[in-house]
Structures are given as C-alpha cells and as structure tokens.
Structure 1
C-alpha cells in the first residue's frame, strides 16, 4: 500500500482529535473520513480513489460519523469510555483463547444446563455466589477458542435508555426498551440465533466484563466447583439505608465494591485482553451506509443521547445480513494489527491536536498578539508534520491549468514531486 504520507498524517491526525475526553459531536468532523474501520481490509484500504475526496478547503459535512467510529474502535473493551458512552453502536466478532479462565457464581450446587452468565474476573462472579451463609463458585477453562460476539457500551446495564438496543435487534428484530429486565429471554434468544453460526457466547459490560455463555458443556471444562463461605447478601447492598431495611451486610458491600474494582482494572488500553476482537469484522451502527435511518434520529443530539432506537426494519435486516456475512467468513484478513494502529495514531496526535485546539481558540483585538499566536500554531503544525514535509515538494498555485488544487497531495493524481522517498 502506497499513499502520500502528508495526506495520511492530516487525516489520521484529524481522527485523533475526536479522542479527547470531552463530548464529541458529529458536527465538526473532517469531511474526509480519516480511517473507515468498517472496511479495514478492502483493496483501497479506505483512503479513497478520487481526488475530490481530499478537499482541504471544504468544511465538514453535517451528520458525519467517521470520528465516532474511530473513537469507539479506540475504546473497545475498555471499561471507562464504555461507561461514559453507555449506548453501544458496535457488534464485533471475537474469540476467547484456549486456556482462558472464566467464572460463574451461583447459590446452587449445580452447573447450569442452559445459557447463563460467566465473568472474566472472579471478583465479579462472587457477587452472585450468594446463599444462606454460603454459595458456589465455578471456574471454567476454555478448551478451544470460544467464538463470541461483543456488544460495546455498557451493554449489560439494566436501563431502558439504550444500553441494550443492539442486542434487541439481533435477538428480537427490533428494539424493545420495555423488556430491559427480560434477561432470561434475551440470553436464550441470542443463543438460539447464534447457534446456526457456532457462536459460543456474547460479551457485555456492566460493573466488569461478562459473557452470556450458551452451553456449559461446549468448549469449556470444569477446573473447580467450590463451596465458598459468604454472608447472606443484603437486599439493600448500597451505602444508604431504607427506613425498614435490615442491617447492612458489610461483606456483601465489600464484594460489590470488589466487582467494581475489578472492572476498573480494564479502564484503559489494552482493556480486557482476554477477549480478542476481529476488527475487520466490526459492524457499526454509526456506519451511515449501513444504517441510514439513524442519521435523522441522532441529528442535533449530544453523543451521550445517541441510541439505536428508531432504526428502520430495512436497516435492521441489512445489519443482520452483514453480520451473518462477517461471522460466516473464514478469511483471516490482512494480518494487520488494527487495534495497535489506532492507539499509535492516538498516542502520536491526540495531545498535539489538543494543543492546537487551545492555540486556535483565541481572540484578541491586538494584531500583534494574533500574529504571535499564529506563529505558535504554525510551529506546532510543523512539529506534527515534520516526518511528511518533503524538501522538494512544490505546491502548484490554485489557478494552474489542468491541475486540481489538491492534486499534489494525492497518491492517485500522477503528480510526482521533484524528490520522493523510495
């Protein structure tokens, strides 16, 4: 793959601007999608094939979502950003490697015979190992790679404002907010749908990451099933008292805290690394071509209010067809580590672009102050783009006959600078 490096730096850098820790709006994104993560392994490598795509003199187009796709990819399997932006829009094929330990807490001395939940950390599963002074804690090990689908966001949070929308359209063919607590039906219907494709489970996140495991006899073996000593869980395990509530159980409060504590271990990159995602197989509901009916639904809304409710039945069918295609394919892709690449881009550009934003967010009636600030901004730009500023590249004037104004920066134009790197 060859492309003009300055163009790449500008557009990948613009994507990193979306990764600063403040609410992101779809209005204001660069008109060129910096990294279309939904088509990572295509022949064009998502950098386009027309000079007209590289119009630096045009502002962003309204309702663009490339920055949101990039940001969600950068945040996958990380607890904090998916807590902050709780309504997930991505479905990603993944696997859990052979030998990975998984945990299930229960009040019964019985290994589940139907779909149930397991945790990636024992601190999480022990919250559910409750009974009259004791509970049971099951440890499993994967005997082969487990095939899973990951729903991003706080996809296990029981709230009706959008956390489970993507699961609903797969399980039931529509968003059903009134069934937010209908978890038994949700797990059974998801597993019933996934059985045709060999899906072993579905990864979600609440206090910590969990897996809706479809079959406790397939792809896993029992490491231990222990009768553990726990105090009876209080009906009110929160740091406040109801007027007629029984005395608080400090041990139950401690277990709940430890479940949240274990989730915080995955707050930032690399997140929960026990789940390996297939990023070229990512399905994003922020993809305007895949789910165009959501464009007017989220128009004018802050990102925190984006959700999938309102998607058309036609788009749901298209999403499910695309998902079926992705999870059925055996093509391993290009072998490029897209997860690492997105983080390299963020590491390199995010703080620098934040500084640029600070430098440009400046008003003054003093022309000398404006001039000095402009010089600082240019200095920072040169620092960012030094690896891509070729000594002999000449930018033609805008009125050069037969030459597009951006042709010098395009790998498709045939324009060859006087000196190029090999």
Structure 2
C-alpha cells in the first residue's frame, strides 16, 4: 500500500514552464507532499514536500487567469489553475496543513533525518498519554454530572417530604384551610428558586471546553464553501465556529445523528430533520486526532469509520509535523540483515554497520520512557478509581430514582382523591 494516500484531491491544471503550456490533471495533498498528476498519462508533473514550501498565494496570470501559486525553496514557483470547486477552497486547505506543519514542535530543521527508535517510542507513548488525559477530563465532567443528578434527587426527596406533610394535613378533616396558606406559597417560591439555581449550575458545567482545534469548515450542500474556522468539543455538545469566532452551529449531544470519519484528518457531523434539509458540516483539520480521541468515547454509538479511513490505517501513521513514515516503528528495519561479523576490524566497518552497532534506544531515552510509562500507569489507575466510583453512584442513582418515582405516584393518587 502506497504511503502517499491523499488527504484531499482537486481537479485543475498545472503550468509547465519549460513547454509554456497548461496541462489538466489532479492536485492531491498527502500527509507531507503536494503532488500534481497529469490526466492523460498519470505522470507526476510536480511533487513538493510541505517542509520546502515557502509561500502559498492566490494570484493571476498574464491572461488575467485566476491561479494558485506555490513558492518552493530555491525560488521555484509552481502555478495551478482551473481548480474545482474553487481556488479559495483549495487555498484554505493547503495553507492550513502547511502552517500546522511549520508550527509543529516535531518539525525537523534542515535535512529531514529519520527519528531514532527511542524518539518514535516516546512520540507514541506521548500520544497515548494525551488520549488518556482527555479521557480523564471527560470522566471527571461525567462524575460531576452524576453528582449534580444525586443532588437533584435529594432535593426532590426533600420536596416530596414537604408534600407528604401537606397532603396529610389536607386529608385531615378536623381543620380545613379556607384560603391559601402564606407559608405554603413561600415554600413554593423557595423551591422554584432553588431548582432554577441548580439548573443554571448544571448548564454552566455542561459548557466546559474539552478541546478546540483549528480546522477548515464546509457545510455540505454549499458549493466551494470551505473556510477556516474551528471545532470545539464540549462536554455536552459540539460547536462549529468561523475564523472570526462567530458560531456557525451548535450540535447538542442528543441531536447528533452520526459522525462519519473519512480519514484521520476529516470528519462530517450530521443532524437529521423531518420535513426539512439535514444540517451537516464537514471538518478538515491537521489536528483532528486530538478531537477524535474524545469523540470516539462521547459518541461511540454514533461514530462511523469509512473505507477511506481503513486505507489510511493500512499505511504508516504520520502527522503533518513529522517526517513521512516515521510513525511506522514496527516495520522499520523489517527485512534488513542487521548481523555484523564480529571479526571485522573497526577501521573496516561501513557507516551502515556502525549505525547498526549503535544502541537503538539511548539511556536518556530509556529513562524518559520509564517516567512516561509510570505516568500512564498512574493515569490508568486514577481512571479505574473514578469508574468504580461512578459505578457506585449509578447504583445509588438507580435505587433513588425508583424510590422517588414510587413516592411521586403515591402522592399523585392521594391528590386525585382530594380533587
């Protein structure tokens, strides 16, 4: 399977400077390369590494022809035209991935030397640690919601006790009030204020931000509408905003019908309606993996992975900020003969054999890996403790809900007898 699986592709044309002509074909963006392939013979006419790109601009040719130019190191300019659905949409996507690669902390400077095995393991464990931390944040907010539910049930129980006393007084014929008791209206007002305060606190906690990533946003059904913005994952909703911070749409958790994962960088979120068009946004981001780790847990019954995503899973995993193929730590060195004869004098060892004799993981990397694994173990134990606590809270909530429902039904029957 090719390592150059495209993240996104567009039909267009490329200007061959040596022949002074335009050639139609396909412009495709992979994890680390921008490539143009001719339509006639599928020949690769241009292949640019994102790390070598100096500038991306929207310009016009001498014939007042709207084009997209990419300036490569060495002052080499590449011209792309007739891009579909539109030039602006292609520009926003290319600029997003190019800038995220430049801002990535793992971006190597100068020559792109492959990472050592120790660094690859550190990056792998670091990603797992971030996912576990995101999971812990979600578990913490979920525990807070359970605590709020328990407090609400306690308040209901308290109100039911008051209602039981009032019903007992109303059922007694020895004295019957001829008007509404003032202390009763005061109690009702107090209960309404407390309930409203509890609701506001719960609503405020439900809007806590778990993660927010920059993205290219497009609404399905709008031709060429691909603009920069952001995707924000909240505890109880998803929020899509434009580049100015204006909210485009808010998906409540129960309103989301499905989330389709097209590849590790692109998802679509859909909310279905009866009698009117669905609301569906397509989100493309170089940092989508940060949001996917949370979405997989929050919407595990609504998330769907497409066949295109399976193609990406079959290729070495890299990020826009890492060298291509660096994430495939298990296949590195596979099929290579690493045996070095012991009898060979040190002066006759080749450079490749010297690299083989060097330790795969240094002592400093091993110590860092040890500390990270200890942190992972601590996070996993904390998550397990929180899950056990939440299981107990769910049992208590279940029994309290049954008891409260029984009391409400009993009070309802008594009130009907009084009417």
Is TM-score (shorter-chain normalized) higher than 0.5?
no
* Higher helix proportion (structure 1 or 2): 2
The TM-score, its normalising length taken from structure 1, stands at: 0.21
* Higher strand proportion (structure 1 or 2): 2
The TM-score, its normalising length taken from structure 2, stands at: 0.21
